[in-house]
Structure 1
Amino acid sequence: MPKMNFTRVSLRDLLVAFGPMTLMVIIVCGLGYWLVDPAPPREVDFSTGQENSAYESLAKRYVKELSKNNVKVNLAPSLGSQENLQRIQDPDSDIEIGFVQSGSTDEEAAESKGLISLGSLFYEPVWIFYRSNKDIDAITGFKGKTINVGPDGVGVSRLFKQILSVNGMDASDVKLGTLENTPATVALLDGKIDALVFSSASDSPLLQMLLQTPGIKLFDFVQAEAYTRRFPFLSHVVLPRGIVDLGRDIPAKDYHLISPTATLVAHSGLHPALIDLFVKAAHDIHSGAGWFQKQGEFPSDRYTEIPVAPIAEKFYKNGPPMLQRYLSFWVANFFERMWVVIVALGALILPLSKIIPPLYVWRIRSRVYRWYGQLRTVEQAIEDVSEEQRQQVYASQLKSLDEIEEKVNQISIPLSYAEELYGLRSHINFVRKRVLFLMKDHSPAVDAAEAGEAADAANIANAAKAIVVSA
């Protein structure tokens, strides 16, 4: 049981000594966690595109990639690029990220709306499919025809009007349809419209089907290079002969196309950790070779007028963060986001580690040293006492020593400091002997042994005074 008492007291002193530091560390960690916000949300809303579009099929791949890190991506179908852009920049919308076609906005407007680019992902050429007995080799050849460009929320509608303008035409020179891609394709096959315009990557099922449908022709932008000079957000790409089906030689020649790029656009409020995840997913999905791009050409921080997020730029320059190459995303993200707190804790703990141990030692020894003040009081009380009061004062101080000793015997300290306690008890006994010596000082029968013993007590008491002073 005494050993248990010693241990309990030691733990209490440890708690008192280290408690403030522990509390301070917890506060710093909690404050850092709140400020740095290392835990991203587990859900994100993604604006995609029309049914059977490349946007829709690619968005499903993002769902699969982010689910590997327990992030749920909620897909929100849309008319296309323009509607995606409006949703992302709308402060009342829950949509945080989506596909946007290059040329849909400009840098100044993007910055004012708080938009950021996570990189361009792939070419999505402008495809013009038409029905005609003869080939059409210029946009002016569509004058007077019914051309479906899709609803206003589709990026190609705005782009096609720009194409008409540089060819000396306007919307009144053609009949523009506003059907979505799937019903517009049916209308083209049924001969209800003359042409269909849409912008899409090669992943689109509708595109694959139209390229292989007899009687449906693809418009060849023979002036593609000139278009890229007029519109910097466009690129000149070539659909190689036989790329669709080598055995059937589809297409039967190279086609020149003009192409904006699809960009992954988000609101600047998107959590940095989610930006990391989406950029990594984009790399896994779009880095391969395709009909128009080389291996590793996409994703890229080029081909976009929207400012690229710094985190995405860092990824494109240096690759994935080092910790994410060896740890799970959530663990790596925690350490990457909390490094400021870790540095702050190091700066805090280093000086405290030099202060706390001496403080703990002082608390233990103070339980003993404070009684030396009581001993000093007893010694002062027996000095310069008048002769008639000596016996009464000496007796009362002996009683005080007994009380002090009784209380000292109840002190519990760790065993490693027991030497301090036993030293105090010895000094109490030495002071008692000195008082007894003084009580007998007026008696002539003091023997030599008692005198020597009292002198030793006096010397030790003086040493005790020195300890008190130094403490």
Structure 2
Amino acid sequence: MPQNIRYTLLSLRDLMVSIGPVALLTAALLALTYWWLDPNPPQRVVLATGPDQSAYDEFGKRYAEALRRYGITVELMPSEGSSANLELLRSGQADLGFVQGGTADIGYDDEESIVSLGSLFVEPLWLFYREDAAQRLNSMSTVANLAELQGWRVNVGTPGSGVPRLFRTLLDVNRIDTGQLKLSELEQTPATVAFLNGDLDALVFASAPESLMVQMLLQTPGIKLMDFAQSEAYSRRFGYLTPVVMPQGVVDLAADIPARDVRLVASTTSLLASAKTHPAILQLFAQTATGLHGRPGWFSRAREYPSLEHSEVPISPEAVRAIKSGPPFLQRYLPFWIANLIERMWLAMGLIIALALPLSRIVPPLYTFRIRSRVFRWYAELRDIEQRHESLNDDTATPVQELIDQLDTMERKVEKIVVPLSYTDELYALRNNIHLVRKKLLRNVN
């Protein structure tokens, strides 16, 4: 290897050693920041959905498929429905869950431990009844209001769905004693079977129109859907309810199903999450919600949902950014994991760099000290030889020849010193000083 390259390599080596303390401190701060911020999300989350074949179950599968592209496994946890999902969130058994407005008791404690990713869709209260039951019990083929259900066998769903609570609220406001109805709380699938077999007169549940159960019942002969003529009044009495209209023919244009507009009352379903859920997970779910629920539907126009309104708990900041601004800038051009790491670490990295820059000012002096110390440390020995020569008249003085031998040994060692070319003037100055001391010693020998 040529000498000038060797000198350069030695210079770089000393430079790296000089930079070492600052680099180690910076790396330690970055590691501590990474541990504290925990920028990378877990690869597995639990989403509380609902009964089989429900809209919650269907949407849960779509979320799982969407997040699989990012390497996130979404474990779907079936439940009885909205109220059960809220309890799963409170207990920490689920990270996220679908919760319908007005079907669960949300208290002040929930505002601290649960956040919302926005309202996803409206969930009408479907009241299907058998046409033959209406003719048998009311001598009419249609049901105009809830008061006409007195004496009917009505299934209102399981307590975990929240529908029994909502339906009883509607009965109370209509001054209907629940004892005048034969209410049951069967699960949706066995209740539907009993309803179709004639063991039940009416079926009440809340679900999005995407539910297979809704689609099937709307097209079943002899099954009718109650028209809530007072839907606007219900929405004025209860803030979590909103009036919606199912347009004529929206189910099947060719068969003209339904044959006329049907007025319904609906509550908005939100995607709630534990406040402890990783922010990157919340961001991904909010972005996915924009794609899944932003399309036009039976009760909404394009991009009307997800919405930041109708929330009973605080909205997550990640959801606000995702719904209003879409994916972050970096995620549009970089893989999710890299973009997420930069987005969540950039501020801390900036602060660390701001701290490291002043510390880096010690690197040049430290580097200079390391190089010059190879030369300057020999001056102590050279000065010692000279001082012992000046004390030759003392009884303890070292013989001149011995001093010369020490000087020769030191010179041989100094000749092996290698320094960068920019510091060779100091090396040669040391060698000249050694020669000067030798001349001084030789004068006494002669």
Counterpart residue type for residue 110 of structure 1? D
> Residue 184 of structure 2 corresponds to which residue in structure 1?
177
Which residue does 1:97 correspond to in 2? Answer: 96
2:303 maps to 1:291: no
> Is 1:158 equivalent to 2:165 in the alignment?
yes
Structure 1's 159 and 390: CA in aligned 2 closer, same or farther, altered over 3 A? closer
Q: Retained in 2: the 8 A contact 1:390–1:439?
A: no
Q: Give the one of 265, 268, 286 matched to 1:279.
A: 286
Greater Cα shift, 33-42 or 98-107: 98-107
Q: Distance in 1 between matches of 2:220 and 2:436?
A: 115
The reply to whether residue 371 of structure 1 matches residue 378 of structure 2 is: yes
Residue type matched to 2:95 in 1?
E
Write the deviation string for residues 307-344 of structure 1: whole angstroms up to 9, x where unpaired. 11122123233332221222221111000111133113
* Aligned partner of residue 301 in structure 1, secondary structure: coil
Aligned to 1:123: 122
For the 8 Å contact 1:49–1:77, the answer to whether it is kept is: yes
The alpha carbon displacement at 1:82 in A equals: 1.0
Give the Cα separation in 2 of the matches to 1:421 and 1:105. 84
Answer yes or no: is 1:359 the counterpart of 2:366. Answer: yes
What is the Cα deviation at residue 198 of structure 1? Answer: 0.7
Instruction: Give TM-score scaled by structure 1 length.
Output: 0.87
Match of 2:342 in 1: 335
How many Å separate the matches in 2 of 1:390 and 1:211?
119
Separation in structure 2 between the aligned mates of residue 69 and residue 362 of structure 1, nearest angstrom: 51
Task: Say which SS state the counterpart of residue 338 (structure 1) adopts.
Answer: helix
Q: CA RMSD in A?
A: 2.3
Give the whole-Å Cα distance in 2 for the aligned partners of 1:170 and 1:60: 40
> In the alignment, which residue of structure 2 is the partner of 1:432?
438
Contact 2:287 2:323 in 1 (8 A): no
- Which amino acid in structure 2 is aligned with residue 340 of structure 1? L
Q: Distance in 2 between matches of 1:391 and 1:212?
A: 120
- Tell me by how many angstroms 1:292 deviates: 0.3
Partner Cα separation in structure 2 for residue 390 and residue 257 of structure 1: 115
Contact 1:116 1:308 in 2 (8 A): yes
Is the Cα–Cα contact under 8 Å of residues 99 and 262 in structure 1 kept in the other structure? yes
Q: Report deviation, 1:385.
A: 5.3
| In 2, Cα distance between equivalents of 1:162 and 1:209 | 27
Q: Which residue of 2 aligns with 1:412?
A: 418
d(CA) in 2 for partners of 1:392, 1:121: 96
Residue 423 of structure 1 is matched in structure 2 by 429
Measured at CA, do residues 391 and 156 of structure 1 come closer, stay the same or move farther in structure 2, by a change above 3 Å? closer
How far did residue 390 of structure 1 move? 12
Q: Is the 8 A contact 2:55 2:208 kept in 1?
A: yes
Q: CA deviation at 1:5?
A: 7.4
Mapping of 1:450-465 within 5 angstroms? none
How far has the Cα of 1:217 moved from its partner?
Answer: 1.1
CA distance in 1, matches of 2:69, 2:395: 92
SS of the residue corresponding to residue 98 of structure 2 reads strand
1-side partners of 2:80 and 2:308: how far apart? 25
Query: What amino acid does structure 2 have at the position aligned with 1:86?
Result: E
Pair 1:232 & 2:239 matched: yes
Are 1:118 and 1:309, in contact at CA under 8 Å, matched by a contact in 2? yes
Per the alignment, residue 75 of structure 2 pairs with 74
Distance 1:163 1:391, change over 3 A: closer
Question: Mean alpha-carbon deviation: is it higher for 176-185 or for 256-265?
Answer: 176-185
**Please, which of 175, 184, 201 is the counterpart of residue 168 of structure 1?**
175
Match of 1:197 among 183, 201, 204: 204
The answer to which of 53-62 and 416-425 deviates more is: 416-425
- Residues 335-371 of structure 1 show CA distances to partners (whole Å, capped at 9, x for unaligned) of 0111133113311331233211221121011110121
Q: CA deviation at 1:109?
A: 4.1
Q: 398-407 vs 179-188, which deviates more?
A: 398-407
1:149 to 144, 156, 177: 156
2:267 maps to 1:266: no
1:312 alignment counterpart? 319
Letter of the 1:433 counterpart = K
Which residues of structure 1 form unaligned runs of 5+? 441-471
Letter aligned with residue 423 of structure 1: A
What do residues 213-252 of structure 1 show as CA deviations (whole Å, max 9, x unaligned)? Answer: 1211111111111111111011111111111112221111
Show the counterpart of 2:387: 380
Which residue of structure 2 lines up, in the alignment, with residue 58 of structure 1?
59
Partner of 1:19: 20
Write the distance in 2 (CA, Å) between the matches of 1:389 and 1:399.
20
Q: Which residue matches 1:108?
A: 108
The answer to whether the 8 A contact 1:107-1:305 is kept is: no
Q: Which amino acid aligns with 1:55?
A: Y
Task: Tell me the number of residue pairs that the alignment of Structure 1 and Structure 2 aligns.
Answer: 436
Distance 2:285 2:318 in 1: 11
Q: TM-score, normalised by structure 2?
A: 0.92
**Matched-pair contact (CA < 8 Å) for 2:388–2:397:** no
Alpha-carbon distance in 2 for matches of 1:109, 1:15: 55
Give the conservation status (yes or no) of the 8 Å contact 1:107–1:307.
no
Q: What's the secondary structure of 1:39's corresponding residue?
A: coil
1:8 and 1:216 map into 2 onto residues whose CA distance is 88
- Asked whether the equivalents of residues 240 and 253 of structure 1 are also in contact (C-alpha less than 8 Å), the reply is yes
Pair 392,343 (structure 1): closer, same or farther in 2 beyond 3 Å: closer
Alpha carbons of 1:298 and 1:308: their partners in 2 closer, same or farther (altered >3 Å)?
Answer: same
Confirm or deny: 8 A CA contact 2:153 2:200 kept in the other structure: yes
Unmatched 5+ stretches in structure 2? none
Q: Could you tell me which amino acid in structure 2 is paired with residue 101 of structure 1?
A: Q
